[in-house]
């Protein structure tokens, strides 16, 4: 099992190119199921989850190819397609539920395994079932699978008003894709507004979909009979960009984070500036300058749905707070088990106490290197940031979590001057 060995204390300088967003690429791969024509995507990140989704599509009968230097992938979902996502292929990736809407919309039936457990908390699929049922689908859960089909006599889903009980990103994406081929108008209320949603919508519009309001909480879709192929570039990963901003803030230095969009990171950037970090727009990215941990002021924050502070940045910013001046309060409102990185940060010398959904962080002058274990994707990133500022060597185990969401992170950090290597 691979590990990361980090020798802390080096400042970061130079440029880093942010890869395409995993949370945009995964639904956009599934969107290729909506048409029998070729779909080409650029800037697809080289991640384990993307590879798993590609394998799943190939299992269904989709012809895939890789082209170009910067993440080019092609998909051709011509008939015949096997509309099934087996457990063996999806047990490691919860995003497999995104195949349900496109398969049901185009083929009228689908069999998709229920995703397995998630380390950071429950992500129920009941909202997906509720929304697709409102569009006329008949869905039963049996033997660990969601088995969906259209009623006898129907050939298309029907438009509907869907108001979910809570904001759900993958639910919004599933309904958005399914509604493109539904009969009539679909109105999504309480829709997720994360930047990956409008990126998916823009791709679908290129395929011939009729969508309005994407990027707001109210999305309107007029169904069409058929979609065609397209070429689309995956939006840059705002969470990877935010992670590098926090890494430079904690370690100190001057880095241009290329392809990052500051309008996708407003809540994080505001907190970084309040902490004493200089963050400016420059060229096609964001420049971040920091004097290091000794000049940082701890910041309180509360995670919430976009455009609020993202739960996917909570662990990384907590690592920064752990070495900042003063005390801070971090409140997690999205997932119930998202403080599992705290015990590992404490092993490095952090002073953090948990009280329910709140973590109380008292900044310390110095962390010290130790062996630590990643517990989930973003937790692993927080341990890397902590390792960059810790004195001595930090060895991060279970970095397969990191590989699920970060494209060659150690190579990018090493290019900025970090002393970091993968130990196989």
Q: Where are the domains of the chain?
A: 3-18+236-423, 22-233
| 94 carries a ligand binding annotation | yes
Residues near 102 by beta carbon (within 8 Å), at least 6 away in sequence:
30, 31, 33, 34, 177, 178
Q: What is the DSSP string of 46-115?
A: --HHHHHHHHHHHHHT-EEEEETTTTEEEEE-PSP---EE-HHHHTT-GGGGGGHHHHHHHHSEEEEEPP
Helices (H) and strands (E) in the chain, counts: 14, 24
| 174 carries a ligand binding annotation | no
Structure tokens at 83: 């509309």
Helix, strand, coil percentages (3-state) for the chain, rounded to 5, are 35, 30, 35
DSSP E strand boundaries for 144-294: 145-149, 161-163, 185-189, 210-212, 218-222, 230-233, 253-258, 278-282, 285-290
* 112 vs 90: CA distance, rounded Å: 9
Q: What is the DSSP letter of 224?
A: -
Residues near 290 by beta carbon (within 8 Å), at least 6 away in sequence:
248, 249, 250, 251, 252, 253, 276, 277, 278, 296
Give CATH superfamily name and number for 3-18+236-423: Enolpyruvate transferase domain (3.65.10.10)
Q: Over the stretch 335-364, which tens digit does the pLDDT of each residue have?
A: 878 899 999 999 999 999 999 999 999 999
For residue 74, the cross-strand partners are 40, 65
For residue 20, the cross-strand partners are 236
* 264 vs 241: CA distance, rounded Å: 10
Q: What angle do helix axes 48-60 and 22-31 make, rounded to 10 degrees?
A: 10
* pLDDT value for 349: 98
| 17 carries a ligand binding annotation | no
| 195 carries a ligand binding annotation | no
Residues near 338 by beta carbon (within 8 Å), at least 6 away in sequence:
120, 121, 311, 314, 315, 332, 376
On the question of a cis peptide bond just before residue 80, with omega within 30 degrees of 0, the verdict is yes
Q: Does domain 22-233 have CATH number 3.65.10.10?
A: yes
Asked whether the beta carbons of 10 and 38 are under 8 A apart, the reply is no
| 334 carries a ligand binding annotation | yes
Among the listed residues 30, 118, 230, 246, the single catalytic one is: 118
| 125 carries a ligand binding annotation | yes
- CA distance to 114, 394, 399, 409, per residue, from 312 (Å): 23, 23, 17, 16
* 336 vs 317: CA distance, rounded Å: 18
* 325 vs 327: CA distance, rounded Å: 7
* pLDDT value for 92: 76
| 127 carries a ligand binding annotation | yes
Half-sphere exposure of 395 (CA within 13 A, CB side): 8
| 124 carries a ligand binding annotation | yes
Is there a common fold for 3-18+236-423 and 22-233? yes
Ordered mean pLDDT values, 10 residues apiece, the chain (424 residues): 96 98 97 98 94 95 90 96 92 87 97 70 78 97 93 96 94 98 98 97 98 98 98 98 98 98 98 98 97 96 96 97 98 89 97 96 97 93 98 96 93 98 94
| 140 carries a ligand binding annotation | no
Burial zone of 156 (CB within 10 Å; 0-12 exposed, 13-18 middle, 19+ buried): middle
| 22 carries a ligand binding annotation | yes
- Report pTM: 0.95
Residue position matching structure tokens 């995703």 = 115
* pLDDT value for 90: 83
In terms of Cα–Cα distance, which of 25, 21, 63, 17 is closest to 203?
25
DSSP E strand boundaries for 272-350: 278-282, 285-290, 301-302, 327-331
* pLDDT value for 116: 62
| Catalytic site includes residue 30 | no
């Amino acid at each position: 099992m691979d590990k990361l060995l980090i020798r802390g204390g080096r400042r970061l300088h130079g440029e880093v190119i942010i890869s395409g967003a995993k949370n945009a690429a995964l639904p956009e791969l599934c969107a290729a199921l909506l048409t029998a024509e070729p779909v080409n995507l650029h800037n697809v990140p080289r991640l384990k989850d993307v590879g798993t989704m590609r394998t799943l599509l190939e299992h269904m009968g989709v012809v895939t190819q890789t082209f170009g230097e910067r993440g080019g992938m092609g998909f051709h979902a011509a008939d015949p397609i096997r509309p099934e996502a087996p457990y063996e292929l999806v047990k490691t990736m919860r995003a497999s539920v995104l195949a349900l809407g496109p398969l049901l919309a185009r083929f009228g039936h689908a069999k998709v395994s229920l995703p397995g457990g998630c380390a950071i908390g429950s992500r129920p699929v009941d909202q997906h079932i509720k929304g697709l049922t409102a569009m006329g689908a008949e869905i039963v859960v049996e033997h660990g699978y969601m088995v969906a089909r259209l009623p006898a006599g129907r050939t298309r889903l029907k438009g509907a008003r869907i108001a979910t009980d809570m904001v759900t990103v993958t639910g919004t994406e599933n309904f958005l894709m399914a509604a493109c081929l539904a009969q009539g108008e679909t109105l999504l209320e309480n829709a997720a507004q994360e930047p990956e949603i409008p990126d998916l919508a823009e791709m679908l519009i290129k395929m011939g979909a009729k969508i309005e309001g994407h990027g707001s909480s109210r999305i309107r879709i007029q169904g069409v009979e058929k979609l065609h192929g397209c070429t689309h570039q995956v939006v840059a990963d705002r969470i990877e960009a935010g992670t590098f901003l926090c890494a430079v803030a904690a370690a100190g230095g001057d880095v241009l984070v290329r392809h990052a969009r500051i309008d996708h990171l407003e809540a994080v950037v505001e907190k970084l500036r309040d902490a004493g970090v200089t963050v400016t727009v420059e060229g096609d990215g964001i420049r971040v300058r920091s004097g290091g941990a000794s000049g940082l002021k701890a910041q309180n924050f509360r995670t919430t749905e976009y455009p609020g502070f993202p739960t996917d940045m909570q662990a990384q910013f907590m690592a920064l707070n752990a070495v900042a001046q003063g005390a801070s309060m971090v409140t997690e409102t999205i997932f119930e088990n998202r403080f599992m990185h705290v015990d590992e940060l404490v092993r490095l010398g952090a002073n953090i106490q948990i009280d329910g959904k709140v973590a109380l962080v008292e900044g310390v002058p110095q962390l010290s290197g130790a062996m630590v274990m990643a517990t989930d994707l973003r937790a692993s990133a927080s341990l890397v940031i902590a390792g960059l500022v810790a004195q001595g060597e930090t060895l991060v185990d279970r970095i397969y979590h990191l590989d699920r969401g970060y494209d060659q992170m150690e190579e990018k950090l090493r290019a900025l001057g970090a002393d970091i290597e993968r130990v196989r």
